[in-house]
Every structure is written in C-alpha cells, then in structure tokens.
C-alpha cells in the first residue's frame, strides 16, 4: 500500500491538506482527486501544492470507527455545555476544559495541542502542534457516513483522526474546524464521536486538543500519532 499526502498553501499560508492510503493501481486516480481537492478549496486557490507518495513499509492496522452521534444545539453556549459534560465524564476538570477552549479559539495551529490532566502542554512545537498522519477510512465507511447522513465530508476525515487517537489511548479529543464557516465540532472519547452543532460561531478560529494521562510516554505517542498507519473501517 502507498500513502499519498497532499498539502496546499497560498503565500506560505496553509489552505488545505488530505491524505489517503491506496493500492498501487489506485495511485494515479487518487493523486488526481487530491490535486482537484487542493485546487477547488473554499479557502482559495493555492500557489503551492505538495503531493507526496510513499510506500508504507509498516503493517497497517485496521480498526473500527467510533460510533457517530450528532448532538443538535441551539447556540454556542448550549454546545459548549454539552462538550463540557462529555469531557467531565472522562475525568477532565472544568479548569482544563476552559484552557482547551482557549487554545482552540485562539486557532492558528496546523496540528493538535496535547494536554495532560495537570494542564501541562506536551507538544514539542506549540505553534504547530502535532499532526495525526498515515490514516484513511475505507470506501464503505465514507459511503455510509455520506449516504446515511451521519455527517459530512469533514466528518469522514475527522472520524479517522478521532478513531486513531482514541485507539492509541488518548482520553478525549476536542475539535472545532479551522474553516471559518464550519461551526459543527466534536468531542471524541472511547464512548464515541459526538458531533456538536454550533460549537463555535461563524468566523471564529478552530483547533484540536488531545487530553492524555499524566504518565503518558509522550515520545512514543507522538511517533505513533504521526507514523503508525491505520485504516478505519
């Protein structure tokens, strides 16, 4: 199998990124799809597109996706209360949750911030964060999500990240989109992927926070988040 990663930017600013894990026969087709995706992005037309194709040498792990549930909320206040409740059920304190909301609302990170339960930030590069890579979803899962209206194209990408990180022992993930007009975010825990509407307001920034145990082996975790290949089914 091969990993194909695309990232696109304009004037040095990130516009979009995506990745797929495919057979050799699918490389050409999927490379085309990703280039098209880069060119048609709602954040603008890129002046730089990077396409990286490499053979995956490590064994790929196939895991089930987290169950998807959508929680409809009237406004941001209600949505954030819901998110807080889900996070508190996992033993995360109010103070830590406030801190996580502050990080995602500030925005500007390409990857995720990692917080332990003492509120220490563990990602080595605080500007960039940690990016979860080497993941894809099966065609069947993509179709199921879209056909059964369990979510959107963004859900398809996000469920891969959330399912991988929870599988690797992360306690919970809090996420809002870096797309200014996409206001549905989510909380992921071992209990599921909870889409929460209106988790931010239109025009606001987004971001990702992973909550981890205090005794986490952070080097090993970051290595797996970035490099261990997973296909989510």
Contacts with ligand PML by CB under 6 A lie at: 151-152, 154-155, 158, 175, 177-179, 182, 184-186, 195
Instruction: Tell me whether residue 70 or residue 138 sits nearer to ligand PML (CB atom).
Output: 70
110: which 2 tokens? 């390409």
Instruction: Tell me whether residue 216 or residue 225 sits nearer to ligand PML (CB atom).
Output: 225
- The counts of H helices and E strands in the chain are 6, 12
Instruction: Tell me whether residue 72 or residue 98 sits nearer to ligand PML (CB atom).
Output: 72
Shortest Cβ 214–ligand PML spacing (Å): 27
d(CA 117, CA 35): 40
Helix axes 94-106, 76-88, angle to 10 degrees: 130
Q: Write the CB contacts of 32 (distance below 8 Å, at least 6 apart in sequence).
A: none
d(CA 82, CA 101): 13
Shortest Cβ 118–ligand PML spacing (Å): 27
Shortest Cβ 152–ligand PML spacing (Å): 5
Shortest Cβ 166–ligand PML spacing (Å): 15
Helix, strand, coil % in the chain, rounded to nearest 5: 35, 30, 40
Instruction: Tell me whether residue 144 or residue 154 sits nearer to ligand PML (CB atom).
Output: 154
Shortest Cβ 44–ligand PML spacing (Å): 16
Instruction: Tell me whether residue 121 or residue 154 sits nearer to ligand PML (CB atom).
Output: 154
Nearest one of 163, 217, 230, 218 to 191, comparing CA atoms:
163
Q: Are 201 and 177 in contact (CB under 8 A)?
A: no
């Amino acid at each position: 199998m091969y990993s194909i990663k695309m990232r696109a930017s304009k004037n040095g600013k990130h516009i979009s990124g995506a990745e797929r894990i495919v057979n050799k026969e699918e490389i050409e087709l999927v490379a085309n799809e990703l280039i098209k995706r880069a060119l048609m992005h709602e954040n603008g037309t890129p002046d730089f597109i990077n396409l990286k194709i490499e053979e995956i040498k490590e064994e790929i792990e196939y895991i089930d996706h987290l169950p998807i549930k959508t929680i409809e909320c009237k406004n941001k206040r209600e949505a954030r209360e819901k998110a807080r409740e889900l996070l508190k059920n996992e033993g995360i304190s109010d103070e830590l949750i406030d801190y996580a909301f502050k990080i995602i609302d500030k925005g500007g990170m390409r990857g995720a911030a990692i917080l332990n339960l003492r509120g220490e930030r563990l990602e080595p590069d605080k500007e960039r964060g940690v990016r979860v890579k080497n993941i894809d979803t099966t065609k069947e899962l993509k179709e199921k999500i879209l056909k059964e209206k369990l979510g959107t194209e963004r859900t398809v990408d996000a469920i891969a990240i959330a399912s991988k990180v929870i599988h690797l022992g992360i306690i919970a993930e809090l996420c809002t989109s870096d797309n200014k007009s996409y206001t549905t975010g989510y909380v992921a825990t071992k209990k599921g992927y909870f889409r929460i509407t209106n988790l931010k307001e239109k025009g606001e920034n987004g971001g990702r926070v992973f909550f981890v145990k205090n005794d986490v082996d952070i080097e090993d975790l970051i290595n797996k988040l970035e490099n261990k290949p997973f296909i989510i089914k």
